Amino acid sequence: MNKAGILNNSTIDPNKILPMRYPWAREYYKTGVNNNWVPEEVPMMDDIELWKKSPERGGLTPEERRMILWNLGFFSTAESLTANNIVLAVYRHVTNPECRQYLLRQAFEEAIHTDMFIYCSDSLGLDPDEIYSMYESVPSIKAKDDFVIGMTSSIMDPNFKTDTTENIQKFIHDLFGYYVIMEGVFFYAGFAMMLQLLRQQKMVGIGEQFQYTLRDESVHLAFGSDLINTIVQENSEVWTDSFKQDLADKMKVAVDLEDAYAQDCLPRGIMGMNAEIIRQYLEHIADRRLERIGLEKIYGATNPFPWMSEIMDLKKEKNFFETRVTEYQTAGNLDW
């Protein structure tokens, strides 16, 4: 075990941030600050009007409403699950000060995202009891949440320490569960559906809120991946074939769960999206997530939504505000 690295480092004083050892953590912090936003900046008047309209008078179809409700139901509680894991588990074990600075920033962003779902529910006049219990009452949502919560059962023990090879693997397993699977896979079918709706100029307020959230999440995912990579580099004994296989197997289950969720959101396929194309997209992003942490890709699927990869590409994310949201709306008539 490496006692001079990012974990188990007895020489680290968590209060001394300078000099820094992990400049990538600092960069993500600054990127997060540059991306600052709050939900109230996004006007919701058009959404409220469209939400109230009947289908006969140009309102949303029942299928579109279901898709929106399912995504609000999933995300409204998923953001809190993620925040709790950062604060209660990850923060305790990552004592490096610049990483902790980013974790605090991420926790704040999760609070913004939680706020975004409060704001959307309020704006549309949704029943909070219904939305906030969907993670228990809708089986396809519950299955996703149960899966990630199950991936952290051992490290949520207050006596857990990253003091053995096996425990470092458990910790990486937790990071993989929340950063790679929750934020990297379980958020993305929802992002694709909501942004596709935005490209058709429907529910543009919620769509824009999802865009800002996606931009934040792409940074969370990048930080989590670099954190995993650093722990693995510094503790190479943990990176056994059987552990890598375990992570790859978890990814396969995650893709199937997200696929089932997407089919439940869009039972009949709408907006040019159907079960096959969403499955292909999930396989594509799963491969990208695996490769990002040095694992072999599983599926080899091409990206059916190139417009999504443009939005989420981290290199572009700093320019995101300059390319106004309307740019994506004009691309709504792409034929696919």
Q: Which is nearer to Fe ion, 79 or 226 (CB)?
A: 79
User: Does residue 215 touch Mn ion according to CB under 5 A?
Assistant: no
Is residue 79 close enough to count as binding Fe ion by CB under 5 A? yes
Task: Kindly state the tokens that stand for 336.
Answer: 């696919």
Q: According to CB under 5 A, which residues from 136 to 195 bind Mn ion?
A: 183
In the set 119, 188, 212, 281, the catalytic residue is: 119
**Region of 38-46, 76-84, 259-267, 270-278 interacting with Fe ion (CB under 5 A):** 76-84
Residue nearest to Fe ion (CB): 113
Closest by alpha carbon to 39, among 188, 191, 205?
A: 205
* Unique residue bearing structure tokens 């006007």: 43
CA distances from 228 to 157, 221, 249 (A): 20, 11, 17
For Fe ion, the closer CB: 221 or 278: 221
**Taking CB under 5 A as the rule, does residue 220 contact Mn ion?**
yes
What, of Fe ion, Mn ion, none, does residue 79 touch, CB below 5 to 8 Å by kind? Fe ion
Burial group, residue 10, by CB count within 10 angstroms (0-12, 13-18, 19+): exposed
Q: Which is nearer to Fe ion, 117 or 171 (CB)?
A: 117
Q: Which of residues 176-195 bind Fe ion (CB under 5 A)?
A: none
131 contact partners, CB below 8 Å, separation of at least 6: 69, 72, 73, 76, 117, 121
Coil, helix or strand for 123? helix
Tokens, residue 52: 């109230």
How far apart CA 171 and CA 188 sit, in angstroms, is: 24
119 is catalytic: yes
The closest of 239, 256, 258, 257 to 296, measured between CA atoms, is 239
* Contact partner at residue 259 from Fe ion, Mn ion, none, CB < 5 to 8 Å by partner kind: none
Number of residues that bind Mn ion (CB under 5 A): 3
CB of 59 to Fe ion, least distance (A): 29
Alpha carbon distance 200, 329 (integer Å): 7
105 binds Fe ion (CB under 5 A): no
Pick the closer one to Mn ion by CB: 98 or 110: 110
Among 93, 105, 113, 250, binds Fe ion (CB under 5 A): 113
Of the candidate spans 36-44, 73-81, 197-205, 300-308, the one that interacts with Fe ion by CB under 5 A turns out to be 73-81
CA–CA separation, 72 vs 82, rounded Å? 15
Q: Point out which residues bind Mn ion (CB under 5 A).
A: 183, 217, 220
| Active-site amino acid positions | 119
Q: Point out which residues bind Fe ion (CB under 5 A).
A: 79, 110, 113
